[in-house]
Amino acid sequence: MLFPNQLDAAVIYYGGQLVTDANRLSPLEMPILGLFGALDSNPSVETVKQFESALKSVGKSPEIYIYDGANHAFANPSGSRYNPEAAEAAWTRTTAFLERYLKS
């Protein structure tokens, strides 16, 4: 949100405070990848879907994935909520996404 036209790509791993106001999201120019857990409550699946819908309503094409059985911090191998299957899938998507948008 701070650099709407200065980033080449943005990846969000289960963040906390997703913006769901389309007017605030409208200035964003970078491609966005979002990776979230279906069991997470911060942000909830409902909020993730509102975020995705708001982006789409202003002409953005976010790539949003919600992993069944995954909670907040599912990709943190030192945490109690680590989900190796979701973490591996998210990492594969992350590296492919960044390679697509950042590799020259």
How far apart, in Å, are the Cα atoms of 47 and each of 12, 18, 30, 64, 103?
14, 7, 20, 12, 31
Residue 16 has a pLDDT of 76
Write the pLDDT tens digit of every residue in 11-25: 999 977 899 999 999
Question: Is 80 exceeded by the pLDDT of residue 68?
Answer: yes
Amino acid in position 79: G
Residue 75: pLDDT band by 50, 70, 90 thresholds? very high
- Summarize the confidence of residues 32-47 as an average pLDDT: 97
Is the backbone of residue 4 left (phi > 0), alpha (psi -120 to 50) or beta?
Answer: alpha
Assign domain 10-102 to its CATH architecture. 3-Layer(aba) Sandwich (3.40)
Residues 6+ apart with CB under 8 A from 72: 14, 37, 39, 40, 41, 42, 81
Residue 80 has a pLDDT of 97
pTM score of the predicted model: 0.94
Instruction: Give domain limits for the chain.
Output: 10-102
